[in-house]
Amino acid sequence: MENQPLNSYVSEKDLVKIFESLDAMNKKLNQTAIDIFTNETNRKLLSKPSHFTFSIVHRAIELNKGFKTLAEANNWITAINLIRLQADNCMRLFALSLVQDRLDFYNRIQNEEHIRNIKDAEGNEMTDQYLSTKLNELYPGFRILYENTSGLIHFSNEHMKINTDRIDDGDEFMMYIRLAETTEFPIGKKVDYAFNMFIVSKELHSLLNGYKLSMIDFMKRFDNE
């Protein structure tokens, strides 16, 4: 969703392929979560930070399903909001990797404390701006995706642009306003939105896999007890 020309050499087939990739990503997210769960429960354990992680995975899978359902119903104005929510999942899971004490982090979230008030291991408050900027170091482009989709979550001039067609003719112009009718997006925009939903879900899976590897190593300390 960067400010660059849309790919005009795409079709509905490309959109279908992205939806198939989203379905496949949901299976990967689910399987990785199962791997984390099995690694712990085989030792008759279940860590609280993993409970936090499983909750994010469940939300992520539901968001992907919802995005696809809304897009297939041609309700793109609602669907594109879910990209921002998936980015939120990335930032929350990433925050878990930045703190010094994961159990303390979990307990504070359980007690309804906002993540933005919790500091990472270096003493930085983990605001959305901070987390999105740090994530951009891992996944270049994340920050601009976060900013662009934030403008779609809250009512803004982006919605006014979507609602309005303006035809200029010299010093005069004609404006068309939509009310009840469905907004039709060009295929290039549809593919762009869907691809970004896939990309941010892929980044979430990468973060989840990193947590999985860290917990495999962490749980080894219980094998001799």
Query: What is the SS3 assignment for 168?
Result: strand
pLDDT tens per residue, the chain (225 residues)? 445 555 668 899 999 999 999 999 999 999 999 999 999 999 999 999 999 999 999 999 999 999 999 999 999 999 999 999 999 999 999 999 999 999 999 999 999 999 999 999 999 999 999 999 999 999 999 999 999 898 777 666 665 566 556 566 666 666 666 665 667 788 999 999 999 999 999 999 999 999 999 999 998 888 875
Query: What is the SS3 assignment for 94?
Result: helix
Torsions phi, psi for 29 (to 5 deg): -60, -45
Displacement of CA 12 from its chain's centroid (Å): 23
Question: Dihedral angle at the C-alpha atoms of 109, 137, 23, 40, nearest 10 degrees?
Answer: -50
Cα(218)–Cα(163) distance, integer angstroms = 52
Predicted TM-score (pTM) of the model is 0.87
Q: Alpha carbon of 49 to those of 43, 161, 192, 215: distances in Å?
A: 16, 42, 34, 10
Which residue spans within the chain are E strands per DSSP? Answer: 164-169, 172-177
Which tokens go with 108? 């504070």
What tens digit of pLDDT does each residue of 133-181 get?
A: 999 999 999 999 999 898 777 666 665 566 556 566 666 666 666 665 6
- Please tell me what DSSP assigns to residue 115: G
What is the longest distance spanned by two Cα atoms in the chain?
81
